[in-house]
């Protein structure tokens, strides 16, 4: 029996060399988020991770924490981030959008209301980094019913659970390249590459690597070992620099600078 293609799969145009950028919704302002999302798509983004700013982020490094504060100061919330997706669509963003949020805001929102909001606003995927596989059964079933992918994470500390996590993965499997918080890394350790290869043995969906990818050389290395690469802190830092440029010159120059830096990062 053929399984129904999810909305996520329907919008994904390839399953190799996936470029998955992360940005913080509302940083520095909701209108700017739309502009940066469009620029990312123009430069080849295959999936957009739309991060919901949170006041107590367990996995976020200082760059993303600062962006989250800017977004929270601008009034962003989980509800507003989800409701931003139709605005992105109207502006021309056609790639799958994955809402990246911690579990506490989801719990406060309520599972039923939250899943209903995801469905009504056309969200294709959901990623909750602090929700372990063992505690995700309820949301996993609810998202499946609504044709929304619940993205799984697998980390080097998941050694005994790699097979189980990978076999249940949907959409793509987020492979955490290193321990600790997000942020740029100068190099990717050899043991990380071996870990990626092991994860790929069990996964039937694309394996994308995140945490620390911040240079063109690292992007090229990931293309050889994984199905995709996730870039967060580096792109958020580029947005911050772009905003500063806008203050000193104009909006057009700030966006041009962002696109130029992005091109160097993913295309060399």
Catalytically annotated residues:
49, 60
Q: What is the DSSP string of 227-260?
A: SEEEE-HHHHHHHHHHHHHHHHS-HHHHHHHHHH
CB proximity list for 149: less than 8 A, separation 6 or greater:
6, 8, 98, 124, 125, 126, 143, 170, 171
User: Is the separation of the CB atoms in 255 and 44 below 8 Å?
Assistant: no
Closest by CA position to 7, among listed 118, 161, 110:
118
Catalogue the E-assigned strands of the chain.
18-24, 48-51, 97-100, 125-127, 149-154, 173-176, 207-210, 228-231
Longest dimension (CA), the chain: 59
Query: In degrees to the nearest 10, what's the CA dihedral of 194, 102, 244, 260?
Result: 40
Give CA–CA dist 12/6, Å, rounded: 10
67 near 239, Cβ under 8 Å?
yes
Burial environment of residue 161 by CB neighbours within 10 A (0 to 12, 13 to 18, 19 or more): middle
């Amino acid at each position: 029996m053929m399984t129904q293609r999810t909305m996520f799969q329907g919008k994904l145009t390839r399953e190799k060399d996936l470029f998955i950028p992360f940005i913080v919704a509302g940083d520095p302002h909701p209108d700017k988020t739309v502009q940066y999302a469009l620029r990312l798509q123009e430069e080849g983004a295959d999936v957009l991770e739309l991060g919901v700013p949170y006041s107590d982020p367990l996995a976020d490094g200082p760059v993303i924490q600062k962006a989250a504060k800017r977004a929270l100061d601008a009034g962003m919330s989980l509800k507003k981030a989800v409701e931003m997706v139709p605005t992105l669509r109207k502006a021309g963003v056609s790639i799958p959008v994955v809402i990246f949020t911690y579990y506490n805001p989801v719990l406060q929102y309520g599972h039923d209301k939250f899943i209903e909001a995801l469905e009504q606003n056309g969200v294709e995927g959901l990623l909750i980094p602090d929700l372990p596989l063992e505690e995700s059964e309820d949301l996993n079933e609810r998202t499946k019913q609504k044709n929304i992918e619940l993205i799984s994470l697998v980390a080097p500390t998941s050694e005994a659970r790699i097979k189980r996590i990978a076999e249940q993965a949907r959409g793509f499997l987020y492979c955490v390249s290193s321990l600790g918080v997000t942020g740029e890394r100068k190099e990717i350790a050899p043991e990380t590459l071996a870990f990626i290869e092991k994860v790929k043995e069990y996964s039937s969906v694309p394996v994308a690597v995140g945490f620390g990818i911040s240079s063109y050389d690292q992007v090229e290395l990931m293309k050889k070992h994984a199905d995709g690469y996730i870039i967060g802190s580096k792109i958020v830092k580029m947005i911050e620099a772009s905003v500063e440029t806008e203050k000193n010159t104009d909006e057009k120059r700030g966006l041009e600078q962002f696109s130029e830096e992005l091109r160097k990062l993913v295309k060399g």
